[in-house]
Chains A and B, each alone.
Chain A
Amino acid sequence: MKKHRMYYIRQSAAALTILLSAALCGCSSDKGVNGQVIVYNWGEYIDPETLLMFEEEYGIKVIYDEFETNESMYPKVESGAVAYDIACPSDYMISRMIQNGMLSEINYGNIPNAKKNIGAQYFEQSRGFDPENKYAIPYCWGTVGILYNRTMVEEPITCWEQLWDEKYADNILMQDSVRDAFMVAEKLNGHSMNTLDPAELEAAKNLLIEQKPLVQAYVVDQVRDKMIGGEAAIGVIYSGEAIYTQKENPDLVYVIPEEGTNVWIDSWVILKNAPNKENAEKFINFMCREDIALMNFEYITYSTPNVAARELIEEEEIKNSEIAFPDLSQYGNLETYVYLGEDGDYLYNELWKEVKAY
């Protein structure tokens, strides 16, 4: 009796294993006709449709990997454990990678769509971290600002200072990120968000500690759902998220604060030891096409630097949205993050730990 049962268990276990292994082998599709390209991008930062379209048009297989933060991306690329072709780091991370010789120069001749479709002002802005526009092609950009629920506040929120107002205690959401949190404090103090001056840093740290009892939570992504759900009155949010949240909850308003804020750009870069450089160039060129850029914009809702794509946007509201496409000349004190160097990073991290541990 028992023998039969064990026998069947063993047989079915073996069969299941074989079946699954076969299924998996069958599933892993063969390499594209024209080779492959290995891309390392933020999570949920591309319309999967575009990848399929690229594969079909060019016959190049896309191996796509995702990361959550610049800081977790960097060591993986540096270690060379995986030889990526393309990555999509943020501004300051790009300057770090340039400094450490990890990127290869872009041959704009092979990527004609870049200069054609992407606005010149974005290349201009990129000079902050890529001085001669040699390494990075902008993919998404945006601002960091305040999102507030107009039914839950007494007056319109227009500056960072109001996030220290006691009447909003337990109703404030801050970003759980060392640079984004310090940026707010430093702007409020009128300092540069890239400062390494010990006195200015200490002042920023103290400001953050002062604010801590009023903060409901330090969040990264959850700011979106929490604001939509009316959990908090005020939150610090990326512009790309703001459009989405407003759609879900029309009571939400996004503003760029008076004291100034961070303008960021995420760009495509080709890595130095990319095994499939030609395919990488074709990939980036494809992503710069106006219809593809439009698809990505509509999927991720983060602002696109692709002006040709912007022309194709049908909804007037979005096309001229102050949030998605703000006229940056109206605002003062806008800065882009700069790589602070190892020592600078260390300093910031230690101070942030003090804030969190307080």
Chain B
Amino acid sequence: MKTIAKRIYVALIILFLYAPIGILMVLSFNRSKTRAKWGGFTLHWYRALFQNEEILRALLNTLLIALLSSLIATVIGTVACIAMNGMKRRAKSVLMGITNIPMLNADIVTGISLMLLYISLGIKFGMGTILLSHITFNIPYVILSVMPRMKQLNVSTYEAALDLGSSPLHAFFKVVFPDLLPGILSGFLMAFTMSLDDFIITHFTKGVGVDTLSTKIYTEIKKGIKPEMYALSSLIFVTVLTLLVLVNLSPTDKKSSVGTLDSENASHSP
């Protein structure tokens, strides 16, 4: 009885989360351009999507920026975590406080302030400025994901490696890094996700001719969303969902799954 109630609850929440996406998918097959009525089934928008250079370019920009900014943010963030680990308590809290600012500040304030920065530095607006902005708001997510792992590190293993003659760098990559990896990967994932959907910050820091999917959709709001966008969203959704299912179906060894109860306990030494 209790299990059924739990299952129903989870199912309802999942339904809540995915209902709008379902609507988008249905609309992608709507012959009528308006979302207000059903005009019949059609695949026309999917065909039109692949012929629409602008949308495809926006898609490419979005993916590229998300990927690059997350990668760079992950590197900078991880290095920052390691560095902060060795800092005095006060300096560390100050830096952590500063780290939280982009996350907590209203998007529009971050966007405008970065735009002001670029104008005053005379940087030309374009892909570069978007990238810089995305990296800036991605780093906090990485740091927040990696920091907790730093505390759970088993320092003695690292020291053992040093004792056995390995160089600090080698020991780091072989011993410390794998332990941090789950945090790094989740930080990367969060950064990627935030970057994909960002609209306001990109809007204020982009140059002419460069569009991401979000900014493109926003300009279409006034005259009506192109149904090609619904088609694109549906395709993205189905693709990622498929990947998700495939990855989940493949056998994973216990060691590499993230945050298992056992491994957490193992590194907690009272």
A and B touch in the complex (CB under 8 A): yes
Q: Which residues of A contact B (CB under 8 A)?
A: 1-2, 5-6, 13, 16-17, 20-21, 23-24, 27, 38, 40, 42-45, 48, 63-69, 79, 81-82, 84, 220-221, 224-226, 228-231, 248-249, 300
| Interface contact A20-B219, CB-CB below 8 Å | no
Query: Smallest CB–CB gap between B127 and chain A, Å?
Result: 8
Chain A residues with CB under 8 A of B43: none
Q: Which B residue's beta carbon lies closest to that of A62? A: B209
Q: Is the Cβ of A27 less than 8 Å from the Cβ of B208?
A: no
Bound-state Cα–Cα, A66 to B60, Å: 19
Interface residues on B, range: 20 to 34
User: A316 → chain B, closest Cβ, in Å?
Assistant: 24
14 pairs, A vs B, C-beta closer than 8 Å: A20-B60, A20-B63, A21-B64, A43-B219, A44-B226, A68-B221, A221-B224, A224-B34, A224-B224, A225-B34, A225-B35, A228-B37, A229-B34, A248-B34
Q: Which of B71, B208, B219, B256 meets A68, CB within 8 Å?
A: B219
A20 CB, min distance to chain B CBs, angstroms: 5
Residues of B within 8 A of A64 (CB): 209
Residue contact A38 to B208, C-beta cutoff 8 Å: yes
Given A21-B64, A48-B54: A229 and B208 within 8 A (CB)? no
Residue of A nearest to B210 (CB): A65
Cβ of B220 under 8 Å from chain A: yes
Query: Do A43 and B221 form a contact, CB below 8 Å, given A48-B54, A229-B36?
Result: yes
Which of B35, B118, B226, B256 touches A2 (beta carbons < 8 Å)?
B256
- Chain B interface residues toward A at CB < 8 A: 32, 34-37, 54, 57, 60-61, 63-64, 67-68, 71, 115, 118-119, 125, 178, 181, 207-209, 218-224, 226, 253, 255-256
The 8 Å CB contact of A16, one of B32, B67, B208, B223, is B67
B208 touches A44 (CB 8 A): no
Question: In the complex, A38→B209 CA distance in Å?
Answer: 9
Query: Given contacts A220-B221, A229-B37, could you give 16 more A-B pairs where the C-beta distance is less than 8 Å?
Result: A2-B255, A16-B67, A24-B61, A42-B222, A43-B220, A63-B209, A81-B115, A81-B119, A81-B125, A82-B207, A82-B208, A221-B222, A221-B223, A231-B36, A248-B32, A248-B37
- Smallest Cβ-Cβ distance to B205: which chain A residue: A81
Pair B223/A45 contact, Cβ less than 8 Å: yes
In the complex, which residue of chain A has the Cβ closest to the Cβ of B215?
A: A66
Nearest Cβ distance between residue A53 and chain B, in whole angstroms?
Answer: 14
Question: Are A24 and B64 in contact (CB-based, < 8 A)?
Answer: yes
Smallest Cβ distance from B18 to chain A, in angstroms?
22
Closest A residue to B181 using CB positions:
A6
- Selected contact of B223 from candidates A6, A17, A44, CB within 8 Å: A44
B64 touches A20 (CB 8 A): yes
Q: Which chain B residue lies CB-closest to A61?
A: B209
Q: Which residue of A lies closest to B116 (CB)?
A: A79
Contact of B68 among A17, A65, A82, A249 (CB under 8 A): A17
Most buried by A among B32, B115, B219: B219
Docked Cα-Cα span, A183 to B222, in Å, equals: 20
**B46 shortest CB reach to chain A, Å:** 18
Q: Is the CB of B223 within 8 A of A43?
A: yes
Looking at B34, B219, B222, B223, the one whose CB has the most chain A CB atoms below 10 A away is B223
Cβ contact within 8 Å between B222 and A20: no
| Shortest Cβ gap from A28 to chain B (Å) | 8
For B222, the chain A residues whose CB sits under 8 A away are 42-44, 68-69, 220-221
| Total A-B residue contacts, Cβ distance less than 8 Å | 93
Chain A neighbourhood of B67, CB < 8 A? 16-17, 20
Chain B proximity of A90: nearest CB distance (Å): 13
Residues on B with C-beta less than 8 A from A13 are 71
Cα–Cα, bound, A23→B57 (Å): 10
Do the beta carbons of A248 and B36 come within 8 Å of each other?
Answer: yes
Hey, which chain A residues are within 8 Å of B208, CB to CB? 38, 40, 63, 65, 82, 84
Q: Specify the chain B residue showing the minimal Cβ separation from A45.
A: B223
Contact A68 to B32, CB < 8 A, known contacts A24-B61, A81-B125, A224-B224: no
Shortest Cβ distance from A48 into B: residue = B54
Q: How far is the CB of A71 from chain B (nearest CB, A)?
A: 13
Complex Cα–Cα for A243 and B226 (A): 18
CA A300 – CA B223 in complex, angstroms? 9
A306 CB to closest chain B CB (Å) equals 20
- Report A-chain residues with C-beta under 8 Å of the C-beta of B223: 42-45, 221, 300
Tell whether, in the assembled complex, residue B60 and residue A1 are in contact, meaning their CB atoms are under 8 Å apart: no
Q: Verify A1–B253 contact, CB threshold 8 A.
A: yes
In the bound complex, residues from chain A placing their C-beta under 8 Å from that of B125 are 81-82
- Top 3 nearest A-B pairs (CB, nearest first) are A229-B36, A43-B219, A44-B223
From A17, A65, A66, contact of B71 by CB (8 A): A17
Q: Which residues of A contact B209 (CB under 8 A)?
A: 38, 63-65
Give A6 to B223 CA distance when docked, in angstroms. 47
Contact of A27 among B60, B63, B178 (CB under 8 A): B60
A65 CA / B210 CA spacing, docked (Å): 8
Residue of A nearest to B185 (CB): A9
CA distance A5 to B253 in the complex (A): 11
